[in-house]
Chains A and B, each alone.
Chain A
Amino acid sequence: MIVLRRLATALPVIAGVIVVTFLLTRALPGDPAVYFAGPAATSQAIEEIRHRLGFDRTLPVQFLDYLQRLAHGDLGTSLTTGQPVTTELLTRLPASAELMLLALCLAIEIAVPLGIAAAMRPGSPVDHACRVVTTAGVSLPTFFTGLLLVYVFYYLLGVAPAPLGRLDVFDSAPPQHSGFYLIDSLLAGDFETFRAALGQLVLPAATMAIFTLAPLARITRAAMLGALGSEFIRTARASGLARHRIVFVYAFRNAVLPVITTLGMVFSFMLGANVLVEKVFAWPGLGSYAVEALIASDYAPVQGFVLMMALLYVLLNLVIDLVYGLVDPRVRLEA
């Protein structure tokens, strides 16, 4: 029930996104007809192309046409690549998702223990280390961290593979099931491809993790400080409960709610940072696709990308709400 009700509230958001992206792409400066007519086009050729693309009709007519095709799951065709947008988005989504999820796991694994350790001993060297890591994480732009990592680990040390996307040029992709190379290669029992895919993932995932772990570590530290200072913890201590039980069961469970909220926000920041990281590592994901399309004023992929992102956000928020319910009984009771 709660899932259905949450989904129903998302409908107006999606409708709004459809209208706004349609209008925004039309409001972009630049003229796709001129762009695609080629360098030597006459004004007649430009008009021909404008007509063929349907850009000479009124906005409401174009919008209805867009809605009609959208209802059939048709997001249109990209003018730059000549491919259907739906297919391209679906083939590129796993590349981005695999990278983001791995980066997120990496960030959580470092940030949460670091935050807890810092909160337990405020002012100690661990706390200072936490401060340095988080400050560095927020202040280093992702493309810079990315290029730096490539320079050190690929160019100077030669330990990382060439920054050429998901697999080395001579490796072939594992048979497609989930689109996640790590999972697909394991399903196929192909450990060599697994290792190769993981190798390619390490640097871009580390780049994104460095950027995401900062807010996570800070919020974990702050929430834990709050929880550890509260009265029920004092009571637990006074009652002589074991230390790990106090920290992990009583304090951390209460501190985890703001961490989950931040996780949702961080995930949306990652979608943005993704664009730059994908550029640096020639990653065939959604971000680089959307930017290429935006630069060429290619409407269909931009609209498709924004719509897909909106759907992902809705889904993400739903998942976070459900996780809340699992962690905090109060949320469940209110529902």
Chain B
Amino acid sequence: MSVTFKLRKDAKFHDGTPVTAKDVKWSFDRAVTVGGAPTFQMAAGSMQKPEQFVAVDDYTFRIDFLRKDKLTMPDLTVPSAAVINSELAKKHATDKDPWAMDWLKNNEAGGGAFRVEKWTPGQELIYQRFDDWKSGPVPKIQRVIWRIVPSAGNRRALIERGDADISVDLPPKDVAEMANDKKLTVVGSLIESALIYLSMNVKIPPFDNVKVRQAVAYAIPYQKIMDAAMFGRGKPMFGGPGEVTRTEWPQPTPYVTDLAKAKQLLVEAGLPDGFETTLSFDLGYAVTQEPLCVLVQESLAQIGIRVTLNKVPGANWRAEFSKKTLPLLANVFGAWLDFPEYFFYWNYHGQNSLFNDMSYQNPAMDKLIDAARFETDPKKYDEEVEGFITIAFDDVPRIPLFQPWLDVAMQKNVTGYRYWFHRQLDYRQLAKT
């Protein structure tokens, strides 16, 4: 089993060397060898060994499959599978650093419609159009200046004054107000396979009791969160039908705000007076997570659950939640590859990866996730996916809140904006009239 690619003969790297199959092979060999994020990402698509990559001739490249994996082809489109100018990079390789990691940290050796003209880490990135790019219509924009503006208030001032053409990473409140003003074009796209959620650690009492978890799920002020924390910039993931009949992910849970029912469930769990717990969140996302957590705190207090907020600075967040000692936390997850079983493999599977911040382990769910991952029968696949989504909703170790939007604000004369799964701007179609 394999896939063969015919390379374009007119493709050139930014220094003018033609793009050949040996460049592709070198780049992929590198990605599966150097460790860290690229190796991990390639392995997600069953690309694990350099022997899998074959340069048949200068313009023919083949990938031999380790197994039948539907993630192999989509995985080739993610940034980890970029093609590097191998001759140029090899000139800067050393014995200690055979893949030129150090040199490539500061230098560009690629192709594509734009080349990097200047890069000042943490401040500025300037792209210049590469006119020998042949893989599509010539981009209309010649030069792109990308600036980091640390203060959110100033980001808004710059776009409203017209000193910035396009702005990303704006707080939802600003986006909602600008969308209302109609002076700018504001585009919000749903980020696929992404969720903002609350997790409860099922290994820490009383969250080991499913009734307690359901009680919490019924006591979340869902609509208030959408209105007051998100200003409507997200897709609600609550109040869905009682039965799972679709394989789409994320999809709304059957839970709604119902304090009477929550109280009742707590009584059934033997905790009529509630309990005390800590709700942790990442200060790096404080703009939305802080109001969200305060609303949850307020609402849980009404059924007797006394919550203390634990604000964790951005640098410590990953180390903190990877210890899996936080009883209750608000978190974000987004996957590049948009398949429910991929999301569940990282978040709900008993292998207990970093992202399974509930420490949830359920053999019945693992079986369904593993089966769906390599399922070839579409009917069975649907049953398996609906099966594990149903378990996730019934057992509710994690409470999905909403699916976030990727918001972009631009001047009225900017056209051609396109959403990408990698959430970066694509300058090739953008134009200013």
Binding site for B on A (CB under 8 A): 29-31, 34-35, 37-42, 45, 48-49, 78, 80-83, 88, 147, 150-151, 154-155, 158, 162-165, 169, 279-282, 284, 288-289, 292, 294-297
> B322 contacts the other chain (Cβ, under 8 Å)?
yes
Q: Which residues of B contact A284 (CB under 8 A)?
A: 120, 123
- Complex Cα distance, B41 from A48, in Å, reads 17
Residues in A whose Cβ lies below 8 Å from that of B319? 29-31, 34-35
| Contact B313 A162, beta carbon cutoff 8 Å | no
Contact A48 B315 (CB under 8 A): no
List 19 additional contacts besides A147-B151, A163-B154, A296-B314; criterion CB under 8 Å: A30-B315, A30-B316, A30-B319, A34-B318, A34-B319, A35-B315, A40-B40, A42-B40, A78-B121, A150-B153, A155-B160, A162-B157, A162-B163, A164-B158, A164-B163, A169-B145, A280-B150, A280-B154, A288-B150
> How many A-B Cβ pairs are below 8 Å?
109
Is B91 interfacial (CB 8 A cutoff)?
A: no
Contact B150 A45 (CB under 8 A): no
Q: Give complex CA distance A35, B123 in Å.
A: 21
B149 touching A164, Cβ below 8 Å: yes
Q: How far is the CB of B314 from chain A (nearest CB, A)?
A: 6
B313 CB contacts on chain A under 8 angstroms: 29-30, 295
How far does the alpha carbon of A80 sit from the alpha carbon of B160 in the complex, in Å? Answer: 31
Contact B147 A282 (CB under 8 A): yes
- Chain A CB within 8 A of B37 CB: yes
Interface assignment of B137: CB less than 8 Å from any CB of chain A: no
When A and B form their complex, which 7 residue pairs have the shortest distance between CB atoms, in order from nearest?
Answer: A81-B121, A30-B316, A31-B319, A82-B105, A30-B315, A162-B163, A38-B37
CA distance A296 to B106 in the complex (A): 20
Query: Which residue of chain B is the closest to A78 with respect to CB atoms?
Result: B121
The CA-CA distance from A296 to B315 in the complex, in Å, is 5
Cα(A303)–Cα(B344), bound, Å: 41
Specify which of B121, B147, B148, B151 is in contact with A83 (CB 8 Å cutoff). Answer: B121
Set of chain B residues within 8 Å of A31, measured between Cβ atoms: 316, 319
Given contacts A155-B161, A162-B163, A297-B315, A280 and B36 within 8 Å (CB-CB): no
Instruction: Determine if B133 is an interface residue (Cβ-Cβ < 8 Å).
Output: no
Roughly how many angstroms separate A30 CA and B284 CA in the complex, as a whole number? Answer: 14
Q: Could you tell me if A45 and B158 are in contact, using CB atoms closer than 8 angstroms?
A: no
| Minimal beta-carbon separation of A237 from chain B (angstroms) | 53
Collect the chain A residues with CB atoms within 8 Å of residue B145's CB.
169
Q: Chain A contacts of B116 at CB under 8 A?
A: none
Cβ of A147 and Cβ of B153 under 8 Å apart?
Answer: yes
Contact present for B315 and A150 (CB under 8 Å): no
Q: When the two chains form their complex, are residues A150 and B40 in contact, meaning their CB atoms are under 8 A apart?
A: no
State whether the Cβ of B35 lies closer than 8 Å to any Cβ in chain A.
yes
In the docked arrangement, what's the CA distance between A158 and B346, Å? 50
Contact of B161 among A83, A158, A294 (CB under 8 A): A158
Is B120 touching A41 in the complex (CB atoms < 8 A)? no
Judge whether B322 and A34 touch: CB under 8 Å. Answer: yes
Chain A interface main SS type: loop
In the complex, chain B residues whose CB is within 8 Å of the CB of A154: 157, 161
Other-chain contact of B122, A35, A41, A80, A169 (Cβ < 8 Å): A80
**Can you give 15 contacting A-B residue pairs, CB < 8 Å?**
A29-B319, A31-B319, A40-B355, A83-B106, A83-B121, A88-B121, A150-B157, A151-B157, A162-B157, A163-B158, A169-B147, A279-B150, A279-B151, A284-B123, A295-B315
Please tell me if the beta carbons of A162 and B40 are within 8 angstroms of each other in the complex. no
The residue on A at minimum CB distance from B40 is A40
A48–B37 CA distance with the chains assembled, in angstroms: 12
In the bound assembly, the distance between CA atoms of A96 and B122 in angstroms comes to 16
A164 adjacent to B147 (CB under 8 Å): yes
A162 touches B122 (CB 8 A): no
With CB as the reference atom, state the residue of chain A lying closest to B335.
Answer: A40
Question: Quick one: given A31-B319, A35-B315, A82-B106, are A48 and B35 in contact (CB under 8 Å)?
Answer: yes
Residues A165 and B161 in contact in the complex (CB < 8 Å), given A34-B322, A45-B36:
no
Q: How far is the CB of A104 from chain B (nearest CB, A)?
A: 24
Of all chain B residues, which has the CB nearest A48? B35
Query: Provided the pairs A31-B319, A162-B163, A169-B147 are in contact, do residues A150 and B36 lie with their beta carbons within 8 angstroms?
Result: no
Contacts of B178 in A (CB 8 A): none
Out of B35, B106, B123, name the residue touching A165 (CB < 8 Å). Answer: B123
Q: Is B88 in contact with chain A by the CB < 8 A criterion?
A: no
- A45 and B40 in contact (CB under 8 A), knowing A30-B313, A80-B122? yes
Closest chain B residue, CB of each to CB of A297: B315
Interface centre among B35, B40, B153, B315 (most CB of A within 10 A): B315
Query: In the complex, what distance in Å separates the CA atom of A151 from the CA atom of B120?
Result: 27
Q: Could you say which of B148, B161, B163, B314 contacts A282, with CB atoms under 8 Å apart?
A: B148
CA distance A294 to B316 in the complex (A): 11
Interface flags, B311-326, vs A, CB<8A=1, else 0: 0011110110010000
* CB nearest to B44 among chain A residues: A40
B346 interface neighbour in A40, A150, A282, A297, Cβ under 8 Å: A40
Which B-chain residue is minimally distant from A278 (CB atoms)? B150
The distance from the CB of B126 to the nearest CB of chain A, in whole angstroms, is 9
B179: interface (CB < 8 Å):
no
**Interface assignment of B269: CB less than 8 Å from any CB of chain A:** no
Cβ contact of A40, chosen from B122, B315, B316, B354, cutoff 8 A = B354
Q: How far is the CB of A230 from chain B (nearest CB, A)?
A: 49
Taking CB atoms, residues of chain B closer than 8 Å to A288 are 122, 150
Chain A residues with Cβ below 8 Å from B322 are 34
The reply to whether B122 and A81 form a contact with Cβ atoms under 8 Å apart is: yes
Closest to B156 in A: A155
The smallest beta-carbon distance between B149 and chain A, in angstroms, is 5
Q: Which residue of B lies closest to A38 (CB)?
A: B37
Closest A residue to B105 by beta carbon equals A82
B123 contacts which chain A residues (CB < 8 A)? 165, 282, 284
Q: How far is the CA of A31 from the CA of B316 in the complex (A)?
A: 7
For B243-258 the 0/1 string (1 means CB < 8 A from A) is 0000000000000000
CB distance B40 to A282 under 8 Å?
A: no
Do A38 and B36 have beta carbons less than 8 Å apart?
Answer: yes
Q: B322 — nearest CB in chain A belongs to which residue?
A: A34
Q: In chain A, what residue has the closest Cβ to B145?
A: A169
* CB–CB A282/B35 < 8 A: no
Chain B residues within 8 Å of A292, by CB: 122
Give CA–CA (A284, B148) in the complex, Å.
Answer: 10
Q: Would A41 and B316 count as touching, CB distance under 8 A?
A: no
User: Which residues between 123 and 149 of chain B lie within 8 Å of chain A, taking CB atoms?
Assistant: 123, 145, 147-149
Q: Name the residue on A nearest B104 (C-beta).
A: A82
- Docked complex: B314-349 residues within 8 A CB-CB of A: 314-316, 318-319, 322, 346
How far is it, in angstroms, between the C-alpha of A289 and the C-alpha of B148 when the chains are bound? 13
- Nearest-CB distance from A289 to chain B (Å)? 7
Contacts of B120 in A (CB 8 A): 284
- List A contacts of B163 (CB < 8 A): 162, 164
Q: Does the CB pair A37–B36 fall under 8 Å?
A: yes
Please, which residue of chain B has its CB at the minimum distance from the CB of A294?
Answer: B315
Complex alpha-carbon distance, A150 and B37, angstroms: 40
Given the complex of chains A and B, what is the CA–CA distance between A164 and B123 in angstroms?
10
B151 touches A280 (CB 8 A): yes
